[in-house]
Structure 1
Amino acid sequence: MWGRAAAVAAALMAAVVATPAVAQATPDCDDGTCRIQLTPQQLQAAAERLVSARRFDEAAPLVAALRQAPGFAMQSRFLTGYIAAETGHPDQAAAQYRAILTDDPGQTGVRLALAKAMLALHKPGAADRQFKIAEQDQDLPPEVLRTIRTVRDTIRAQRPWQVDVSVGLAPDTNINNATSLDTIRVNLGDNSIPLTLDERARAKSGIGQTAQVSARMRLPAADRLSILADLDGNGTNYGGKDFDDYVVQLAAGADYALTSKTHASLEAVGAHRWYGGDAVSRQIGARVGLQTTLTPSRRVGVQLDLRRTTALFDARYSGWQGGLYVTYEQAVSPTLLVSMGPFVRRDWLSDNTFSNIETGANVGIGGAMPLGINFGLRAGASRAVYDAPFVFFDAAPRRDWRLVARATLGNRKIRVLGLSPQIGFSWTRIESTIGFYDATRSRFEFTLARYF
């Protein structure tokens, strides 16, 4: 099924992996006995000649000896992996290639070899991820980049789905997203008086069990047209049910390739949320997206999201919600991606007290590092202005500054029952003109993730 993609991957690997030729050693003969002393470079060249001639059994001891030479572990691992791949053992080849990339994620040729091995193991999703990273290498020749895109198109056409799953624990300083203040001021007539908050209205800490699932399907339907379907679900379970929080979102639509580099999409969206054991809201709407690739390492996207929200806990929160998001991405290296972009969100709710407009921006950086480590950093800031005052708290409309930060650190080299560990930390701060909404929240997540 993946024969064509695998064949192209092999050609790509040959195009970007090359080792300079080294002069052959001269035999030293004495009394009919000849000895050859090889430098590591000569040993590598001899092993490569045997591998190129497909004399793998003869090459194997030379490759094993090469590993003992200081500074030649990468070359030995690559040749070991190549021999394994060519003799029908792609799993062993993948292990060798991963070991190289763990120490040096910037080895594009090795990454292409790993992608080929993943195709041989019938893991097209994993292969596509490796091709995607390799595509960011700005030193690749244009013809190689074009071929990578062709292979990725073939993979997506033949393997239209992707699923990611994670489970874990989440210690949280503010599971109810409430204020930490003991006393706030409220208005009674013309007087402003202090009000002591009940313990249930203040921030509570706790440890929750978390689970997330994300599924994507992209099914070619016609020339330049693909059917899209997305499922996202996440939830946190705490002791009891008062603060349990679960969200499920479905989306379905189509993607149309306007050009080879620009895609437009339109999807219907539906979402449902449960909190404290009860259904609290449902949404239905649509989102429109436009994404274009400026260069192999730069991409920009725009998304417009418009939904009708029905608040099942309080009709005053029902209404329309819309958002416009712009994202710019740039690969600063084959394994490091920077993203940034502004956004505008608007809530038109039944009660103007809760209607608002929020403007802000996000910036992030993430990628792979040596030793199999993956990391991500993201920060954002926004300003929210409400339409009408909540007179019980303040005669002026509410205004918030909102800050968010998140850091993740994972290691795909470590596997626990096929799952990779990840640690995450998120911090949010709402600085509001109304003390009741002033809140700070810190949350750790210790998760195990699986990518299918």
Structure 2
Amino acid sequence: MLASIPVAANAKDAPDQSAPVLTQTHVSAIEVFALADRARGQGNFETAEAAFRALTEDPDLEVRTEARFRLGMMLADDLKRYNEAALAFRRILDDKPGAARVRLELARMQAMLGNMAGARKELRAAQAAGLPPAVEQLVRFYSRALNARKPLGGSVEVALAPDSNINRATRSDTLGTVIGDFSLDDDARAKSGVGLDLRGQGYFRHGIEPGVDLLVRASADATLYREADFNDLTVALQAGPQYIWGGNQLTFSFGPARRWYGGDLFSTSIGGGVSWQRPLGKRGQVRLDGNIVHVSNKRNALQTADDFTLSASFDRAFSGRFGGGVQLFGFREAARDPGYSLAMGGASAYLFRDLGRTTLVGTLGYSRLEADARVFLYPKRRAENRYSASIAATLRALSLGSFAPLVRLKWERNHSSIELYDYRRVAAEFGVTSAF
């Protein structure tokens, strides 16, 4: 177990012309650990980090694991570089998914990064893997410690997105109406293309009192194409209090959103919602969400509506590397015109599995939609059955810093009584994702 690292004669000072330097030497892993720990104790984190990172290349798995753990702890506790610390702990778990202490530290990093869902997922995975009594106490400690949240954070995802039906439109040449068949122009029919998907969200958290925060969130979602007529951009801003007590988290939010389609303003909305979640047993989590939003449609005033959404979800870890969840939802849109008013309900399920340094996530979904009445022009009342499926892979083996490559494949089939809304769609995304 040998490591090769640059060592300066005076560890606290940068080498200069007059200072002798040991440029390269071979020492045992034990000696490098001692050097790194001594440098860390003296506050010389640059030397300590170089030593730990050299040991992460050691051919012995146990040496690499210990080096990554010590590096992660130093990055987290001394340097507050939580993102890099999380990567170090994640790399250990790729090799040793049953390392409970490491998974707890990863959960702590997720919490410090503001990713509460990710933190709770890691805690559930740790408990699913089986924990000794002493570690169970740590889990309870870290569950309470999730209240120590990062004041600023967010995430970003960038991907190329080839799509067989970018406008979710019919492939038919004609549209049947009560007064005869109309010919559809090219823009009203299914079009394929390759877009650029951009998604980002950021938040600011301000503590009001113990257990109560003011949470402000901003988000943007854009799909851009060479043909600007199909560009789709949505931005939103929400703010409200968040309450934490016991294992419960209750969040209220309110704010505006705007959507542009084809470069023109498509809709504006204002509304709010409430979300409640809590652990269910040692391995599960339940979440309830409700939202009320007023949407003003700028292209068709008859579609201006009040939207109501309710959803319930349950997530569970089956083991340290395997888990899943289900969601039920209901949606009601009360539009000015009964023909555009509708009710929809559905369900979705997902499974995730860590395979080495790759995380796979598969989803299946179904929804049923029915309109209140027939739009005057159409021969039937709108009724639809929509099916969807996707599979995604996060390739941590190819990570560059905090960015990890992401591949996602999606399929949709919408059976509609109105020809205009009947479509098939296959899409893919090739990009990178990161939290900060």
Cα gap change, 1:309 to 1:291, in 2 (>3 Å): same
Q: Does 1:402 align with 2:380?
A: no
CA-to-aligned-CA distance 1:137-167 (integer Å, 9 cap, x gap): 222333121122243333x1xx222210121
Maintained 8 Å contact 2:71/2:88: no
Residue matched to 2:175? 184
Residue matched to 1:18? none
The amino acid that maps onto 2:145 is: V
- Secondary structure of 1:388's aligned partner: coil
Q: Does 1:384 align with 2:369?
A: yes
C-alpha separation between the residues in 2 aligned to 1:355 and 1:206? 31
CA-to-aligned-CA distance 1:168-222 (integer Å, 9 cap, x gap): 211111112110112332222xxxx444322222101111112110113333211
C-alpha separation between the residues in 2 aligned to 1:435 and 1:94? 49
Maintained 8 Å contact 1:428/1:441: yes
C-alpha separation between the residues in 2 aligned to 1:413 and 1:342? 34
Q: Does 1:133 align with 2:122?
A: yes
Q: Larger Rg: 1 or 2?
A: 1
The amino acid that maps onto 1:186 is: T
Q: Does 1:147 align with 2:131?
A: no
Maintained 8 Å contact 2:293/2:308: yes
- Secondary structure of 2:338's aligned partner: coil
Residue matched to 1:196? 183
Q: Does 1:442 align with 2:434?
A: no
User: Gaps (5+ residues) in structure 2?
Assistant: 1-29, 40-50
Cα gap change, 1:302 to 1:410, in 2 (>3 Å): same
C-alpha separation between the residues in 2 aligned to 1:447 and 1:75? 33
**Root mean square deviation, CA, Å:** 3.3
- Secondary structure of 1:239's aligned partner: coil
**Most deviating of 405-414 and 345-354:** 405-414
For residue 247 of structure 1, report the CA deviation from its aligned partner.
0.5
User: Gaps (5+ residues) in structure 1?
Assistant: 1-46
C-alpha separation between the residues in 2 aligned to 1:126 and 1:301? 18
C-alpha separation between the residues in 2 aligned to 1:86 and 1:239? 46
The amino acid that maps onto 1:282 is: T
2:112 to 103, 124, 130: 124
Maintained 8 Å contact 1:178/1:203: yes
Maintained 8 Å contact 2:274/2:290: yes
Maintained 8 Å contact 1:111/1:131: no
Residue matched to 1:427? 411
For residue 114 of structure 1, report the CA deviation from its aligned partner.
6.0
Cα gap change, 1:256 to 1:195, in 2 (>3 Å): same
Q: Does 1:373 align with 2:379?
A: no
Map residues 4-403 of structure 1 onto 2, 5 A cutoff.
73-81=60-68, 97-112=89-104, 124-125=112-113, 133-138=122-127, 139-140=130-131, 141=133, 142-154=136-148, 156=149, 159-188=150-179, 193-257=180-244, 259-370=245-356, 372-394=357-379, 396-403=380-387
The amino acid that maps onto 2:311 is: Y
C-alpha separation between the residues in 2 aligned to 1:215 and 1:309? 23
The amino acid that maps onto 1:146 is: R
Cα gap change, 1:305 to 1:345, in 2 (>3 Å): same
Cα gap change, 1:418 to 1:261, in 2 (>3 Å): closer
For residue 102 of structure 1, report the CA deviation from its aligned partner.
2.2
Maintained 8 Å contact 2:287/2:313: yes
Maintained 8 Å contact 1:102/1:413: no
Q: Does 1:411 align with 2:402?
A: no
> Percent of aligned positions with the same letter in both sequences?
27
Cα gap change, 1:341 to 1:175, in 2 (>3 Å): same
- Secondary structure of 1:397's aligned partner: coil
C-alpha separation between the residues in 2 aligned to 1:86 and 1:328? 32
- Secondary structure of 1:200's aligned partner: helix
C-alpha separation between the residues in 1 aligned to 2:304 and 2:320? 45
- Secondary structure of 1:148's aligned partner: helix
C-alpha separation between the residues in 2 aligned to 1:194 and 1:333? 56
Maintained 8 Å contact 1:323/1:345: yes
**Most deviating of 132-141 and 291-300:** 132-141
Residue matched to 1:32? none
C-alpha separation between the residues in 2 aligned to 1:423 and 1:439? 24
For residue 115 of structure 1, report the CA deviation from its aligned partner.
6.9
Q: Give TM-score scaled by structure 1 length.
A: 0.75
For residue 230 of structure 1, report the CA deviation from its aligned partner.
1.5
Aligned length: 379
